[in-house]
Chain A
């Protein structure tokens, strides 16, 4: 049989709760839904394989937002996230996370996931900066996925690997009815009817093009092509603050994190070419990234992760974690370059742009129960709008989503959908396979992402955005009319390009809507260089209205943790310059 040969086929299954995405939030959501009602059928659908999928396919080297009693309080954490996001936060969901996450840590611990402990069995929480103590290293973090998979098998979750969901199904009255998916190795179509659906499909991490030019050398797992953002959009769900991009510091060219959070507690820091610290900002935020960006361009760059002042034995300890977990090829990369941390600093850079609430704030709008604006549809993890929730947030909010979705499924019957929609979607999905001649997906993808870099990457210039959108529209036409897929694997890539294109369009649209600058580098508009609290102290919600992309404002919910007046502009004030 030829490689990944296309097979004609369509089948249908049904379940109570369908979880799409088996990375971090998804397995937790599926597990909690099943434990809530063990008699119910829970399907976990995954584009790759649940064993090793998602942002933490190879594990994680630590938690950086652990709210552990005795070290931090939910109030303090909520305050910090609010300030780091320039106040544009619905605190209820953040506060709920902060209250629940310790229970989740204990639960993960009981699954056999290893967190660093002192010799008396207490969690060894580390301090990175003076404001909060939230870092909990995971010395055996590579066991995370293994431990989760074990729980899924034990609970008898129906796991469906190598199926990519393409569109959601809805009833006439707007309730979610299930999803359509396609097998990534055979192109067979699978329709899954469900009473409730949870989207846990990760970041839109394959949006910008990495500086190396290697399309899959992205900061996020390259499988995270923003499929969840696109699916939610086409289902009519609202997406929040998409103009608040994700940009991260990373090891130059390797495009993986340098992990200041791992090395930081040991005394390592980010420094410029003069060997001095330059980051003024305390929070992991767009403001911090702006400082990074400015330093790179100032002539004081390159920027480095500074380790060589540390003791030999300390460096050994850092290496043993950095080179084993999360991105274990990091050591191999440094070795190839001949970089020894003892004598040389690690050159850093900033990543390509992406959309990811896990590190910033852009995602499918959800409330504190992980509900989207579509009844029966939930979202959690990097693609849901709870800001800065990282891995632990994916677990915690995935858990919230799983429980609430099962309650919804228990009180609702299947929603009816129009079967003509399935036929239409099948034709749309398979269209690239029906063409004899055309453009392969890798070329369409490269061009799309190159345009994202050229025109959408901050600083955001209105004129550039207009040009970029025009060019993207041309490529979209190529994509819709002329893209070909000669086997099932190419079809997977062809479908991913469509998600990438949708995300690029949404990012551009949302960025033009917010006529101010906010969140440092993430939304730096040169035509509107100032923060405008009078008109823009609000969320923006993007959604599909009558087939058109539309943005509206949404008020920030009243705070549950009050922020004093003098703390409100702390964010601006904390840029403490030497008076000289």
Chain B
């Protein structure tokens, strides 16, 4: 009987197998190198990035995703600029798996590449590496003509959580692309400074409902979110219930007492999701004025609304008992 265990000798005849005349055989060899987990496989894979067969190069790009570090990054950098989209896409996906900050040395120059796809892939990979020297090129990339590049650059900057980036992120709320604006709002959440909260607040009036929704949600996560209480209350009249829902949740989380009435007025909304959040928020705030509104939905047709209403009443009673 042969060994019952998986082999760790994948590299033994690797060179010979990688030189097979048939591209399918080369692919098979690359797959086994990818699965080997042996860091020595990276060198063998790196030798294959110029293979004449695009399918083989795609396989190399996928296999390199199993490894980390500058050597793998170097090989993937070459595949990211491959003229074949299937190869470049695989390289971009693999690169995004890197965790070793040293990979950034290889990836950073690609942020200036002529093709937007390469710039996007490079920035996407840089996000998780959290290298401070990625800040400058990422800030520059915020001016990129391509929206996908700008959106990825926001992530690189946001992950670093440095206050110095706030003015640049703030400028993006004028961006023509809604995804970019949404990403910028989300990234601003970390800032401890008031201007960031003010920027998020302004986005409550954005033309796109998903941006407004993100702004309403993010204010609940931001340390200065309560400064926007009045604007969040105004957002309870938003045309989209999705935006109102997040505004209610953030107001509840921040326990804004003057929001009790406007939130209470939402308990008749036709969307059960909204009635439910209104009930929960009244409970979180715990102000006795909420009771009258909760009475309206105590017998709501929707059990989730009733449950939240009952829970909210308990909170109000408990708070009163404490004095």
Contact = CB atoms under 8 A, between A and B. Distances in A.
Interface in A120-141: 120-122, 127, 129-130
Contact of B301 (A110, A163, A578): A578
A51 interface: yes
A280 B37 contact: no
Interface stretch (B3-11, B17-25, B70-78, B224-232): B3-11
A576 B6 contact: no
Nearest to A161: B6
Interface stretch (A197-205, A308-316, A420-428, A539-547): A308-316
B310 A576 contact: yes
A579 B299 contact: yes
A174 interface: no
B134 to A, nearest CB: 13
Contact of B5 (A159, A276, A280): A159
Given A130-B280, A156-B8, A119 B35 contact: no
Interface centre among A129, A130, A152, A282 (most CB of B within 10 A): A130
B304 interface: yes
B225 to A, nearest CB: 14
Contact of B189 (A118, A163, A183, A277): A118
A538 interface: no
Nearest to B178: A313
Given A190-B4, A267-B273, A277 B303 contact: yes
A529 interface: no
A309 B271 contact: yes
Interface string A140-180: 00010010011011101011110100000000000000000
A473 B190 CA distance: 64
B66 interface: yes
B38 interface: yes
A153 B190 contact: no
Contacts of A121: 127, 130, 155, 158-159, 161
B141 to A, nearest CB: 14
Interface in B147-191: 154-155, 158-159, 161, 183-184, 186-190
Given A13-B4, A159-B5, A161-B6, A277 B186 contact: no
A576 B5 CA distance: 57
B298 interface: yes
A122 B189 contact: yes
B205 interface: no
A9 B4 CA distance: 12
Contacts of A574: 307
Interface in B32-55: 35-38
Contact of A153 (B37, B184, B283): B37
A119 B280 CA distance: 27
A282 B307 contact: yes
Contacts of A282: 307
Contacts of A161: 6
B1 A159 contact: no
Q: List 6 A-B pairs, minimum CB-CB distance, nearest first.
A: A153-B37, A121-B159, A119-B187, A119-B186, A120-B158, A119-B158
Interface of A: 9, 11, 13, 43, 51, 110, 112, 118-122, 127, 129-130, 143, 146, 149-150, 152-154, 156, 158-161, 163, 183, 188, 190, 267, 269, 276-280, 282, 309, 311, 313-314, 574, 576-580
Given A120-B161, A120-B188, A121-B161, 4 more contacts: A119-B186, A120-B187, A161-B6, A578-B300
12 contacts: A9-B1, A119-B154, A120-B158, A121-B161, A127-B249, A130-B280, A158-B5, A160-B4, A267-B273, A277-B304, A309-B271, A578-B299
